[in-house]
Chain A
Amino acid sequence: MTDTARQRPGDVVAAGEMAAAGPARPRIDFARWRDLSLVPVIFVLGVIGFIVSPAFLTQDNLIGVVQQSTELGLLVLGEALILICGRMDLSLESTIAVAPVIAMWLVLPAHGARFEGLGLLPTWTAIPLCLAVGAAIGAANGFLILKLRVNGFIATLGMLTMLRGLQVGVAEGQSIINVPESFRYLGKADWMGAPAAVWICLGLYAAGGLALAYLRHGRALYAIGGNPEAARAAGVRVDRITWIVLSVGGLLAAFAGILYTGHYGSVAASQGNGWIFQVFAAAVIGGISLKGGRGTLFGALTGVLTLQLVVNVMTLGGVPPLWNQFINGSIIIVALIISRYASGEKQD
Chain B
Amino acid sequence: MFRFLVTRISSSLFALLIITVIVFLLSHLSGSPVDALLPDDATQEQIDSFVREWGLDQPLWQQYLTFLVNAVQGNFGTSLKWPGEDAMGFVLDRMPATLKLGGLAILISVVIALPLGIAAAVYRGSAVDHGAQMFALLGQSMPNFWLGIILIWVFSVWLGWLPTSGMGTFAHAILPAVAIAWFQVSALARLTRSAMLEVLDAEYIKLARVKGVSEGMVVWKHALRNAAVVPLTYFGILAASILTGSVVIETVYSWPGMGWVALEAIRGRDFPVVQAVIIAYAVVYMLSNLFVDLLYVVVDPRIRRG
Asked if A pairs with B, the answer is no
List A residues at the B interface (Cβ < 8 Å): none
